[in-house]
C-alpha cells in the first residue's frame, strides 16, 4: 500500500479482493472472447519459458482458462488453481471438466495469504490480473515464497498504470486499437501499481528482490526463491 499514491491507495482500500458472485457470469462470458483466449495462450507460452515440468499453481485462477492452456501446452505438468471466489471455482471446475481434465487439473477455493498447500510444493506460482486486488501484498508474497520449492519462480502478471506507449502500440497491432484503448482507460479506475511500485513490492518480502518485463500488454513481476546452495 505504501508504494501507491494516495488516490490509488483509497481505491485499493474499497476494492474487493474477490469478484462478486453477481459479477461471475459476466466475467466468465468476457473471458471466452478472442482477445482473452489469445492472451491466455500468450501467457501460458511465457510461463512455460521458465519451466515446463513439475507442479504449477495459478493464484486467482478465475474461470480456469490458464490452467487448461498450461496443460494443453505441456501435458506432463501437474496444474493447480485457487480462487477466493466460490462461484469462480465452480466455473473453473466446470471448464476443466468440459475439457476432460478433471483428473489432472485441480481447482480449489483459497486465498493468496493462506494457500492450502504444503511448504515447497510448487515449482512455479503464477497469478494474472489479481495482485492489485491483494489487501496484504507482503503477506501474500511471503505465502507464495513458502509454497515454492528452492529455485522456483513466482510470476505475477498485471496491468500497470504507466504502460509504455511502445507496449500499447505493439499490443494494438496484435489485438486491435479499440480494445487496447479500453484497457488503458480501465487502468485509471482500478488500483493498479505503476511498474516501479510493482518492482518495489518484493523488497518488503522474503523474496527481497524482483524484476519486471512485459508479456504482451501485461507487466510481469518475476521473483525467484533463492536455492539453499546459492
Q: Is the pLDDT of residue 171 over 90?
A: no
* The model's pTM: 0.84
Q: Is residue 185 over pLDDT 80?
A: no
Cell 505504501, residue?
Answer: 2
Q: Closest by alpha carbon to 40, among 165, 122, 126?
A: 126
| Mean pLDDT, rounded, of the chain | 85
pLDDT at 33: 76
Q: Under a CB-based contact definition with an 8 Å cutoff, are residues 130 and 139 in contact? A: no
- Phi first, then psi, for residue 92 (nearest 5°) are -60, -45
Alpha carbon distances (Å) from 81 to 171, 209, 215:
27, 25, 21
Count CA within 13 A, CB hemisphere, residue 53. 1
Are residues 174 and 216 in contact, defined by beta-carbon separation less than 8 angstroms?
Answer: yes
Domains of the chain with CATH codes: 6-224 (3.40.50.150)
Q: What percent of the chain has pLDDT over 90?
A: 63
Residue 39 above 80 pLDDT? yes
Contact predicate 54/77, CB 8 Å: yes
User: Could you give the strand order of the β-sheet that contains 55-59, starting from the edge strand earlier in sequence?
Assistant: 105-109, 78-83, 55-59, 122-128, 148-158, 218-224, 211-215
DSSP per residue, 168-196: HHHHHHHH-HHHHHHHHHHTTTS-PPPHH
Per-residue model confidence (pLDDT) at position 8 = 41
Distance CA 203, CA 97 (A): 40
Q: Is the pLDDT of residue 13 over 50?
A: no
Is residue 10 predicted with pLDDT exceeding 60? no
Amino acid at each position: 500500500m505504501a508504494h501507491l499514491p494516495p488516490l490509488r491507495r483509497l481505491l485499493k482500500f474499497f476494492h474487493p479482493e474477490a469478484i462478486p458472485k453477481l459479477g461471475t457470469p459476466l466475467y466468465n462470458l468476457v473471458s471466452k472472447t478472442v482477445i482473452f483466449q489469445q492472451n491466455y495462450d500468450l501467457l501460458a507460452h511465457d510461463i512455460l519459458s521458465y519451466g515446463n515440468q513439475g507442479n504449477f499453481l495459478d493464484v486467482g485462477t478465475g474461470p480456469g482458462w490458464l490452467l487448461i492452456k498450461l496443460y494443453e501446452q505441456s501435458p506432463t505438468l501437474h496444474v493447480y488453481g485457487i480462487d477466493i471466489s466460490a462461484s469462480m471455482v465452480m466455473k473453473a471446475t466446470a471448464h476443466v471438466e468440459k475439457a476432460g481434465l478433471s483428473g489432472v487439473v485441480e481447482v480449489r477455493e483459497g486465498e493468496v495469504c493462506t494457500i492450502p498447500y504444503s511448504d515447497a510444493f510448487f515449482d512455479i506460482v503464477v497469478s494474472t490480473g489479481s495482485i492489485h486486488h491483494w489487501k496484504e501484498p507482503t503477506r501474500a508474497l511471503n505465502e507464495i515464497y513458502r509454497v515454492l520449492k528452492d529455485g522456483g519462480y513466482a510470476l505475477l502478471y498485471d496491468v500497470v498504470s504507466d504502460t509504455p506507449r511502445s507496449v500499447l502500440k505493439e499490443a494494438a497491432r496484435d489485438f486491435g486499437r479499440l480494445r487496447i484503448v479500453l484497457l488503458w482507460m480501465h487502468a485509471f479506475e482500478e488500483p493498479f501499481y505503476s511498474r516501479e511500485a510493482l518492482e518495489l513490492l518484493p523488497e518488503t518480502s522474503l523474496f527481497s528482490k524482483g524484476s519486471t518485463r512485459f508479456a504482451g500488454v501485461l507487466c510481469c513481476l518475476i521473483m525467484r526463491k533463492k536455492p539453499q546452495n546459492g
